[in-house]
Structure 1
Amino acid sequence: MSEIHFEALRADLDQLSVPRGEVRHLRWLVPPLAIGRTASGDFEVFIRGAEIHAVSPLVKRHLQHGEWRPEAGGAQFSANRIVLPSAQHFASVAALIAIELVRSGIATSGGIQKAFSDVEPIIEMAIRRGALSENIVIGLIGELSVLRQLLLLGKSRSNSMLRYLNFWQGWQEGTRDFRIGDHSIEVKTTRSESAIHQFSGLHQLEPMQQPSGAMEHLYIMSFGLAASSVMGETLPSIVNSIVTLLSTAAEGSDLANEFLRRVSLYGCQSGGGYAHQTMLGWAAYGTRYTHTYIPRLYRIEDPAMRLLRRDMLDDTFVQAKGLSFTVHFPDQVSAFNPVPKWESELDRVIKFSDVI
């Protein structure tokens, strides 16, 4: 195997067909190492043996140790697995990883962990282009938490659920996360135990004039999310819950498929997006997240909100364009800010906006 060149292995993987059903096609390169392909088209790199350990947090999220089968009815084998997306160029990435593992001595006695550690930087670079970062994952979970609540409100009404789905704008770049008439919501997530959030510009905190001529009513929805091994929700589980809600609507599966399309576009400007139907079983998306504090919905127009304003910069050398900053929102700004119950406030906003 050490004499096989990249192009030869790459051509071999091109011939590795996509199987049907709950099977996978495998190519064993050396006894501890195989490359597989699943029914979803994903490429898998298997390192047989005991659990290995990654240094990179990103690689650690994608590394999964378990029992696997080469095909339906085949004998199980214990191995570490890394999944790469189905896009054809990832055949080249899988080939590169495999060749470097062999060159690093993965087939030698006791060489599995050492070879993996040597090649881990290459694996990290490959994964970075194939999956969402954890920051984007928790951002998406935050937005989907709001969307699910809106859809639950819509389920009790006779209107089209598409209208409620369309409230979510965060899957598109450069817009508010949610627009409900003249009301808008920017969703922020943090892994902190306090509402400490990063802002990419003053525009995220500045109400804007609407096409109707009215001034925008802007809210900040604050979530604190931390990884948990025993409780909370994963990204696939919250996506599944929304698919179930949408599937019960009159529009049925078409609406659910449109939702999944929009989810797949979220954050894809930084790499690959989350394709639910093929990635729901990926180890990288199997992390549970639980709340570090009760979610809060802040009203920006409250006079008690002590925020940076554009006019404050007029007498300084600081330019608003390109400015980024951190805001630490207190637990309580004023008597009714954050709102006592964010779910009830969403219901009030929908009714007030006359969008139903």
Structure 2
Amino acid sequence: MIIKGERMGRPTMNDVARSAGVSLKTVSRVVNGEATVDPALAARVRAAVASLGYRPNLGASMLRRNDRRTRTIGVLLEDVSNPFSAAVNRAIEDESRGRGVHVLTGSLDEDPVRERDLAVAFARRHADGLILAPTAPDQGYLATDWQPGTPVVFVDRPPTGYRGDAVLATNRSGTAEAVRHLVARGHRRIAFLGDAPRIATARSRRQGYRDAMREAGLPTCETVAPDCGAEAATLALLTLPARPTALFTAQNLITIGALRALRRLALQHRVALIGFDDFPLADLLDPPVTVVAQDPVAMGRAAARALFERIDGHTEEPREISIRTMLIPRGSGELLPA
């Protein structure tokens, strides 16, 4: 049975305009996130949209817009469940919301195939731009698989084989500062637990460790300790005849594994530890964990602003934007050699 006046099927923009008592153009401007609509009219449109259950057709909306934009961007990070990636992503979302832009996010899990597949998927959705923390050894595929003329900004790690703005922490100098901090407290056997060498940030942090150890005339002791095996790698170091008196862990999940090993051997108050990347509750442990803190919020904001500048027509040469790290002494990095 059809009741007179009742529309069947999916509500349209015309239905919203009639319900709100405004023009079709006003509805279009509100739906597309334009900020120039009178607030009272915009509120009426949004109320009508909610009442009718209207859902815009993004493909058709893009075709009607003069600038051909979809008001969406893609964000591909290593692992959005990681506190660092989560903070970067939230900062990008906050910057995007003020521009009426929606964020599509994916986790790469250090999988080069997944990086390319997700980038292609976002391209097919006609995203206006992409923020990418590279996992693949080469981003040259973007020249053919990404949308021509659509900007890409890299965050946390620099690109290879493709040119674009890159927002990077001061990985090398931040690590060197932390190792010098340990040397200044009398440590001479300082071990480095790092991530896989194929990762650009891992290589930079390893080089910072080597810089500081060479300056001090000390021998290096380096171990690759991916987060899934960090506890075992630390246990192996700590059971050596001449065990390290201090550890530098090159990312937060490795730090957590090292802390488990130290506590397992009851050495958390005898072996100093500094970790790269802060993590939740690090200041509440015993002893509190000294870290080289990145600023993921600043990195996310800088990446989003760089991307929107490119979307708006900025055409100058690609830039490297450096975000400084900060050494935060809390206790674990201030232990003296036993």
State the TM-score, normalizing by the size of structure 1: 0.26
Name the one with the larger strand percent. 1
Name the one with the larger helix percent. 2
State the TM-score, normalizing by the size of structure 2: 0.27
Larger radius of gyration: 2
